[in-house]
Structure 1
């Protein structure tokens, strides 16, 4: 018997879809479980874009460090900022989810928040990398 399997991590940090039958149409999600899955997929897509941009920005920081040898630190500062930003994003979005705490809508709120903040951070990283190149 095929179905949708959802796994929520302790303290909720996301949803994982193991199997779908029938596939979910995220443009027409009808029930909360589908909306939760679609919101998480949206976050996953945003996170993938962030990771790709982070690699580009990190490379720009490495180049910057090479220009200012031995006064390096751009790459280290980026790593420090990114770690702090991840903590901020996850904590902020966890708090945001309390609007529907322990309700079926909480995962959707958390994932939606994470997706939005992640897209914003991706734009910030892109601007930072472009500033390093100029």
Structure 2
């Protein structure tokens, strides 16, 4: 019983002293990056913004394709399904391409940044492609 109480007390102390889940990640000055950790963190921030823009455009383009399908006869539909197929293929391509680009610095401190920069570049390009798909349909 004493062992159980001791372990329980240790657990409470660990929980109390540990970082709270509300803590934010470090905020770096991305205009003045000095360390690889700062460069990686700033690259990740840029990717996160690009990914958010992609997700927003995806919703618009998918809706446009679904609306387009609704205007077609049943045997002519398939725009939304084709878009989804293309997006899944693009994700596979993006991940493989960025893995390959990371090999430029395999095992080194730059590998993560090369991978993230590749993701950002390809994500921005894909966002533009999705926008161009939706524009003729009116989205």
TM-score range (shorter-chain normalised) is: 0.7 to 0.9
Match of 2:66 in 1: 62
Q: How does 1:81-96 map to 2 (within 5 A)?
A: 81-96=86-101
Larger Rg: 2
> Please, which runs of 5 or more residues in structure 1 have no aligned partner?
2-17
Q: Does residue 128 of the first structure (1) align with residue 133 of the second (2)? A: yes
Alignment TM-score, normalising by the size of structure 2: 0.80
CA RMSD, Structure 1 to Structure 2 (Å):
2.0
- Number of aligned residue pairs: 118
Match of 1:112 in 2: 117
Match of 2:52 in 1: 48
2:43 to 35, 39, 58: 39
Alignment TM-score, normalising by the size of structure 1: 0.82
1:40: how far off? 1.1
- 1:59 and 1:86 map into 2 onto residues whose CA distance is 20
Detail structure 1 runs of 4+ shifted over 6 Å in the superposition: none
> Please, which runs of 5 or more residues in structure 2 have no aligned partner?
1-16, 18-23
